[in-house]
Amino acid sequence: MVLLSFANTGCKKEQVLTSGGEVRFSADTLTFDTVFTAYASFTCSLKIFNPQNEKITLSSIRLENATSFFHLNINGIDGNTLKDVEIAAKDSIYVFATVNIDPQNQNNPYVISDKLIATLNGKDFSLPFIAYGQDAHYIDGEYLQTQTWLTDKPYVIIHSAAVDTDQTLTIPAGCKVYMNGDSRILVLGTLKVLGTKTDSVVFQGDRLDRGYFGNEGYPGEWGGIYFDSYSTQNEINYAVLKNCGNTALGAQPAAIQLSPDLVTDAVPQLTIRNTIIENSIGYGILSFQGSLKAENCLIHTCGAQALGILQGGQYEVTNCDFVIFSTDKINHQQEPTVALLNYFKNDATNEIFASNLNATLKNCVIWGGLEDEFFTGKVDDSRFAYNLTLDHCLIKTKEISSFVSNSGSILNQDPKFVDYINWNFRPQEGSPLTDAGVPSLAEDITGKPRNGATDIGCYEY
């Protein structure tokens, strides 16, 4: 009798709710941030909860619209309708959703909606689905000929794009460029990014669900911009490069990479002004024997150097901020913020490649969370010059090397940024940057006039 009693207890069936009851959803609305049309979206998820003490059977879970742009995976089963779905007492199931929106020939975002309906004992429980569709121009692994992009719709680059040899790509003010995965722009010819102080050109990853990345973005959402050795007369003005550096060609990841400048003209390979590079998984700017003119730029929060110069080259850098502190996504523990070397060592073969370095840093800030944020190095070979001039910069470093020319620079004084944790690198009242520079540029990165006593850095107090 005892054995029978235990057996009966073990075989007891779970009670099923056959009338009334309710289900609950893990969200009030399932919202997809802007989704590019004709382009599969990211996946959103939700839970359907059974709050009862009995098991329930949902007669169906479905989308209201039979021809919906949304697609479901319900409890591990693909399809927009699933019948007789059981949920144990006090348990839940997952529903995953994606959306693929047909182009509508509209320039502005538009709303796509539907409803998820779960039916329990004859009663419907619904959850709204909302997505914002955005038509776009798509570039998929193309070699681009001379052209000027439009500003009516964003550009989405898939599988990278290359500006072909002897061709020029012009990206005007207000253009928004979204990059997929490790996509990058390779410049064999010429790139002209012509933003303005009121309408900058923005480059960023194509995942627009900012909540997934913690709003400010995740380093390495896309590749970067890479300039070939024969690329020439490139300009970037008033641009923002966010969350890049996923891959690099022949080097560590970088937002911008310059290959050796093999064009014999007096024009820098790249002139970059009034531009912000932020949250790169690797370098901000990485140059191998390139040539660069940089003015009023802010390069911050990078996984490697904000400015990394290897194997020499030609550089003129004025009123730029290079700043790196650790974040929850960037680990700034070893790499100094700025490094300038006239050589490059191949660790695999121990070969050393060297070239002349000629560089001037004027009114620049080099700062961060390490004790020493500035590294210089030269090869022990008199054939290769190392000419670096520091002119009224503020630098966090233990010492300036004897082979570096330094005039009027401030060492190891806190620049007193307004709020470096939240990426506000403007100087506050009492900052040593104020009026400590030498006359240089007429305006700062925001277009604010610089008075006679110029501030150090890209921002004028």
Chain segment 322-351, per-residue pLDDT in tens: 999 999 899 998 899 999 999 998 888 989
Mean pLDDT lowest for which of 192-196, 351-355, 389-393?
Answer: 351-355
- Per-residue pLDDT band at 13 (split at 50, 70, 90): low
Measure the CA dihedral 268/231/239/460, to 10°.
-10
Task: Report pLDDT digits (tens) over 242-262.
Answer: 999 886 455 568 999 999 999
Q: What is the pLDDT of residue 1?
A: 40
Radius of gyration from C-alpha coordinates of the chain: 28
Rounded-to-integer distance, Cα 106 and Cα 135, Å: 6
H/E segment holding residue 376 = strand 374-377
386, two tokens? 């190392």
**CA angle 327–331–333, rounded 5-degree value:** 120
Sign of CA dihedral 364, 368, 372, 374: negative
Locate the domains of the chain by residue range: 15-133, 138-427
Q: What is the pLDDT of residue 2?
A: 42
Task: Report pLDDT digits (tens) over 165-196.
Answer: 999 999 999 999 999 888 999 999 999 999 99
Backbone angles phi, psi at 10, to 5 degrees: -65, -25
- Per-residue pLDDT band at 4 (split at 50, 70, 90): very low
Q: What is the pLDDT of residue 3?
A: 42
- Give percent of the chain above pLDDT 90: 78
Domain 15-133 architecture: Sandwich (2.60)
Mean pLDDT lowest for which of 50-64, 151-165, 241-255?
Answer: 241-255
* N-term to C-term CA, the chain: 90
Sign of CA dihedral 338, 344, 345, 347: positive
- Per-residue pLDDT band at 209 (split at 50, 70, 90): low
Rounded-to-integer distance, Cα 244 and Cα 214, Å: 16
- Per-residue pLDDT band at 200 (split at 50, 70, 90): very high
Write out 150-166 in H/E/C secondary structure: CCCCCEEEEEEEEECCC
| Statement: residue 9 has pLDDT above 60 | no
Q: What is the pLDDT of residue 458?
A: 98
Q: Whats the size of the chain, residue-wise? A: 461
Q: What is the pLDDT of residue 452?
A: 79
Task: Determine the average pLDDT of the residues in 81-99.
Answer: 95
Q: What is the pLDDT of residue 106?
A: 79
Mean pLDDT lowest for which of 82-86, 109-113, 292-296, 299-303?
Answer: 109-113
Strand ranges (E), 75-167:
77-78, 81-87, 92-99, 110-120, 123-134, 137-144, 147-148, 155-163
Q: What is the pLDDT of residue 247?
A: 64
Q: Looking at the domain covering 138-427, what would its CATH class be?
A: mainly beta
Task: Determine the average pLDDT of the residues in 377-406.
Answer: 96
More confident residue, 355 or 181: 355
Within its chain, how far is the Cα of 321 from the centroid?
Answer: 18
* CB of 358 closer than 8 Å to CB of 386: no
| Statement: residue 217 has pLDDT above 80 | no
| Statement: residue 396 has pLDDT above 60 | yes
- Per-residue pLDDT band at 37 (split at 50, 70, 90): confident
Query: Is there a common fold for 15-133 and 138-427?
Result: no
Q: What is the pLDDT of residue 112?
A: 87
* CB of 218 closer than 8 Å to CB of 248: no
Q: What is the pLDDT of residue 12?
A: 56
Which residues have C-beta within 8 Å of that of residue 95, sequence separation ≥ 6? 45, 46, 47, 48, 61, 72, 73, 74, 75, 116
Q: Which of 428, 419, 315, 420 lies closest to 364, judged by CA?
A: 315
Which residues have C-beta within 8 Å of that of residue 2, sequence separation ≥ 6? none
CA atoms within 13 A on the CB side of 152: 8
Task: Determine the average pLDDT of the residues in 17-25.
Answer: 93
Q: Which of 406, 434, 402, 429 lies closest to 418, judged by CA?
A: 429
240, two tokens? 């923002």
Q: What is the pLDDT of residue 216?
A: 61
| Statement: residue 294 has pLDDT above 60 | yes
Q: Which of 421, 332, 413 lies closest to 370, judged by CA?
A: 332
Task: Determine the average pLDDT of the residues in 14-36.
Answer: 88
| Statement: residue 8 has pLDDT above 50 | no
